[in-house]
């Protein structure tokens, strides 16, 4: 036996320490077995390979969506387009970030899809669908329909190349060094979207947060607690929140100055996770929309897509 082989062999004390470390790691990983995993029984529920496109609605998802779509107006020519194909086409654009002119031929025409998206965004159909699915998701996890606590945060996204006469202004976020728009969302403690506002990126968080609360219009009257980061501290945001919701208490969750690197902060991670969920839709990778209301419509559609899959595939 050579001297190098003896030198590379760990001592008895080192082996015992390694065994104790491995046993502790095994014990710490033991609870992972209790997490529900994919099985042969529930795997078909998540299989979308039999659909025409993976982003198409399943029969179960369409059964939840169809009663929420308003019927055609009285008078004039009857509606000939398939409503399910309209929703499939809009979801295709949302998920793949396909340009309107490159929509596949087996889906409705791009003008038809864009007109229905614009109409449903204007007349409040998307808001009604979103609210109805939100209530069902809250009931699924045994929560009250109207939440009492919420979390607010913003996300600055770069604007893509745009042109045209109808173009909402963008701004420059000096802190993030991003030229584009800022998405402000309000979520509950489960992570479901309550409200969303899109505005130029040069608007401060405290001003954008006041705009979010001011545009709720009494939708969630039982909110009592609001969690936010340091960008919302100060009397300006507190006074604006008190003017809209007097019973709402604002709690600023700050990060420790001694902490280096990434840190999971209480309650604030919920809204960050929601941004990650919405980011699965490629349409939200950048700000591609000329109009701000279309950008808000796609955020609501991403939340609708999330809630449909959660209702049809409960964990």
Structural domains of the chain, with CATH: 43-122 (no CATH), 146-312 (3.30.420.10)
Q: At what angle do helices 110-122 and 292-312 cross, to 10 degrees?
A: 90
Which value, to the nearest 10 degrees, does the dihedral of the CA atoms of residues 126, 132, 138, 142 take? Answer: -170
The pLDDT of residue 45 is 73
Supply 281's token pair: 């839709």
Q: Is 8 exposed, middle or buried (0-12, 13-18, 19+ CB in 10 A)?
A: exposed
Which single residue is written with the structure tokens 């968080």?
Answer: 205
Per-residue confidence (pLDDT) for residue 29, from 0 to 100: 33
Q: What is the bridge-based pairing of β-strands 149-158 and 225-228?
A: parallel
Residues 6+ apart with CB under 8 A from 22: none
Tell me how long the chain is. Answer: 315
For position 315, what pLDDT does the model report?
64
d(CA 311, CA 315): 9
Could you say which DSSP state residue 180 is in? E
What's the pLDDT score for residue 260?
65
Block residue for tokens 């449903």? 120
**Do 159 and 217 form a contact (C-beta atoms < 8 A)?**
no
Per-residue pLDDT in tens (0 to 9) along the chain, 315 residues: 443 443 444 454 444 443 343 333 333 333 333 445 567 777 777 778 888 998 899 999 999 999 999 998 888 888 899 999 999 999 999 999 999 999 999 999 999 999 999 999 999 999 999 999 999 999 999 999 999 999 999 999 999 988 777 789 899 999 899 999 999 999 999 999 999 999 999 999 999 999 999 999 989 999 999 999 989 999 999 999 999 999 999 999 887 666 666 567 778 899 999 999 999 999 999 999 999 999 999 999 999 999 999 998 876
Model pLDDT, residue 184:
96
List own/partner pairs for 239-248 with CB under 8 A and 24 or more apart.
240/206, 240/209, 240/210, 240/213, 240/214, 241/209, 241/210, 241/213, 244/210, 244/213, 244/214, 244/216, 245/213, 245/216, 247/223, 248/213, 248/223, 248/224
């Amino acid at each position: 036996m050579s001297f190098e082989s003896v030198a590379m062999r760990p001592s008895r004390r080192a082996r015992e320490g390694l065994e104790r470390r491995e046993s502790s790691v095994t014990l710490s990983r033991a609870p992972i077995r209790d997490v529900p995993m994919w099985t042969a029984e529930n795997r078909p529920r998540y299989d979308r390979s039999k659909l025409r496109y993976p982003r198409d609605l399943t029969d179960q998802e369409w059964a939840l969506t169809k009663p929420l779509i308003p019927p055609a107006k009285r008078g004039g020519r009857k509606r000939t387009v398939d409503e399910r194909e309209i929703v499939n086409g809009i979801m295709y654009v949302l998920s793949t970030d396909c340009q309107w002119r490159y929509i596949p031929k087996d889906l409705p025409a791009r003008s038809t899809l864009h007109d229905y998206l614009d109409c449903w965004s204007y007349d409040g159909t998307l808001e009604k669908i979103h609210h109805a699915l939100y209530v069902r998701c809250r009931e699924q996890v045994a929560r009250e329909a109207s939440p009492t606590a919420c979390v607010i945060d913003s996300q600055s996204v770069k604007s893509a190349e745009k042109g045209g006469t109808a173009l909402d202004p963008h701004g420059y976020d000096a802190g993030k060094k991003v030229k584009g728009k800022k998405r402000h969302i309000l979520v509950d403690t489960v992570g479901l979207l309550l409200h969303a506002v899109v505005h130029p990126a040069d608007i401060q968080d405290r001003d954008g947060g006041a705009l979010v609360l001011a545009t709720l219009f009494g939708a969630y009257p039982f909110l009592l607690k609001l969690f936010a980061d340091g960008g919302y501290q100060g009397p300006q945001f507190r006074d604006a929140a008190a003017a809209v919701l007097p019973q709402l208490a604002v709690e600023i969750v700050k990060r420790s100055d001694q902490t280096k690197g990434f840190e999971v902060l209480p309650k604030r991670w919920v809204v960050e996770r929601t941004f990650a969920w919405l980011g699965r839709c490629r349409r939200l990778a950048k700000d591609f929309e000329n109009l701000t209301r279309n950008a808000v419509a796609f955020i609501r559609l991403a939340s609708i897509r999330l809630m449909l899959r959660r209702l049809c595939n409960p964990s």
